[in-house]
Structure 1
Amino acid sequence: MSTETTSTTPAVRQTAASVPGTWALGLSRGALELKQFIRKRDAVIFTFAFPVVFLVLFASIFSDDVPEAGVSASQLYAAGMVAAGIMSTSFQSLGISIAIERDEKVLRRLRGTPMPPAAYFLGKVWMVLVTGIAETAVLLLVGATLFDLDLPTTAAKWLAFGWIFVLGITGCALLGIAISSLPRSGSTASSVVVLPFLILQFISGVYIPVGTIPSWLLDISSFFPLKWMCQGFRGIFLPESAAVLEPAGGWEFGRIALVLGAWCIGGLVLCLLTFRWKSRRDG
């Protein structure tokens, strides 16, 4: 008995050592998520074209200069639309796709496999990160080429852009995962997720200059990350003279970091409390 146990121990150890870790599985899952996303051409076109089309429309129609700020309305829209594009590829994308996967019992099957649950979410994070970077690059190219959006020229501003991007996309992704549990079925996911996203865009300074938004609506938007991403990107891409348009009269980078950081922590807690592997019909 002891001899048999001893002889099988090396094989067991070798098998255990050959099992990929959570990070490796997450990377593999992320590659799979990207392949699945790219194969859905209509989803790719909608995800990338939607912010670009709205940027071109609003920035072309409302292109007058704002003398007191030393910028054009087109530059304001371009800065805000970068934030909306990030939220589109994270909050909206995850909120809809996870709800559909839950309804089609994909999550239930994955939960029954040896794959660690964290690997599934890491895969989603990698997919969101890649698509978010691609979306942002496209919007910056369009904004700089067509609407004179000034790209940062200093390392400090690029560093600020980096942490706003990372905190913003993380907070929005976690919020998207949390809201994915709200739709009762995959067929209603788009309506449940797109409506609040659309409302947030109007009250957070994406489509309407933040100085003209009623204060009570602006107070509501202050509870969500989109408003602070818009404000942060305006502070990066617009001259200092444009800070007079902000309700506080400045960019408030410290407050932006605190709010977005709080959303990363709060969003994680919200996900842990609300996420469901099975649809409500399955109990």
Structure 2
Amino acid sequence: MSTTMTPATPATAMPRRRLGPVALGLRQGRLEITQFLRSRESVVFTLGFPVIMIMIFASIFDGEIAPGVRFTQYFVTGMIATGLMTVSFQNLGIWIPIERDRGVLKRYRGTPMPKWAYFAGKVILVVVIGVAETALLLAVSAALFDLELPGTAAKWLTFGWVSALGITACTLCGIAISSLARSSRSGSAVVTPVALVLQFISGVFFVFTQLPSWMQQVAALFPLKWMCQGLRSVFLPDAFGAQEPGGSFELGRVALVLAAWCVIGLLLCLGTFRWTTKRDG
């Protein structure tokens, strides 16, 4: 006598367990990181460009800008800030329009997945890649250019909150500026010039106080200048603070400006972000 196995009906099938918010966010973040790593061009540009720039500038400018402070030390702080801006503001401002143009965001909105999970995935991607890039820059600078790492817990704490506030502000601004691109092709054209101009006027490639005063005033309106200034307080001697425009590193003002940009960026995101292109309605 034979028995026949019948497949379970939907009524008797075990229900699939619904993921909690943390697990859902982590899964989306893992997906974002996997997609990023599969794009070799993005990986090489994001992780390799700051290292290449440090090696080029360190080979060209090897003198001192102040007693006991070489230009390489000064430049490294700017490139760390630039790296954080690249993985957040620049990458999101370029890739979100591509996903919008391909209909990826429209499909996301049509699924049961909560909208916040999409942004959680982007945040996790930015944090993971930002930490990896910063660690790579510090390792290369310490090994090849004798960069002195922070020697006190207070310095590392400053490094942590400046980086956290800076990357948060840049992430929110990157999501907001992504709505300016009309198509996937125009994302880079919109974001890259803004990023380059901010680097030139914010004390990344040149000593900030050697720039024209009007340029310094314009740069002071944006987060990158304050990220660079906050990081200089970590990696440069305390005495170098007297060389800053305000006569000190002004860490209180650094925190205030970066926090204000986090609020501004959030408001811009809420008011401008679009899930579909204009042609999709």
TM-score, structure 1 normalization: 0.92
Residue aligning to 1:183: 181
Structure that is richer in helix per residue: 1
Contact 1:95 1:180 in 2 (8 A): yes
1:27 maps to: 26
CA offset digits 1:138-175 (Å, max 9, x no partner): 11112222222211011111111111111111110000
Match of 1:54?
53
CA-to-aligned-CA distance 1:187-207 (integer Å, 9 cap, x gap): 111111111000000000000
SS in structure 2 at match of 1:18: coil
Q: CA deviation at 1:16?
A: 9.3
Q: Select which of 76, 89, 95 maps to 1:91.
A: 89
Cα 1:97/1:115, change in 2 over 3 Å = same
Q: 1:265 aligns with which of 254, 263, 267?
A: 263
Is the CA contact (8 Å cut-off) linking 1:23 and 1:119 kept in structure 2?
Answer: no
Kindly report which structure 2 residues correspond to 1:131-146, keeping only aligned pairs within 5 A, or say none: 131-146=129-144
Partner of 1:162: 160
**Mapped contact 1:99–1:189 kept (Cα < 8 A):** yes
- Residue 37 (structure 2) aligns with: 38
**CA shift at 1:38, angstroms?**
0.6
Report the counterpart of residue 172 of structure 1 in structure 2: 170
Match of 2:204 among 199, 203, 206: 206
Percent identity reads: 56
Q: Which residue of 2 aligns with 1:152?
A: 150
Q: Distance in 2 between matches of 1:139 and 1:216?
A: 31
Q: Tell me the CA shift for residue 111 of structure 1.
A: 0.4
User: 1:118 deviation in Å?
Assistant: 0.4
Provide Cα deviations, 1:241-280, integer angstroms capped at 9, x if missing partner. Answer: 2223211111011111111111111111110000000012
What is the match of residue 6 of structure 2?
none
Determine if contact 1:78/1:147 at 8 Å carries over to the other structure: no
In the alignment, structure 2 segments of 5+ residues that lack a partner are 1-9
* Secondary structure, aligned partner of 1:19: coil
Cα distance between partner residues in 1 of 2:237 and 2:16:
55
What is the identity, as a one-letter code, of the residue corresponding to 2:279? Answer: R
Q: 1:66 aligns to what SS in structure 2?
A: strand
The answer to whether the 8 A contact 1:210-1:245 is kept is: no
Amino acid at match of 1:266: I
In the alignment, what sits opposite 2:191? 193
Q: What code does the residue aligned with 1:59 have?
A: A
Q: Following TM superposition, where does structure 1 have runs of at least 4 consecutive aligned residues deviating by more than 4 angstroms?
A: none
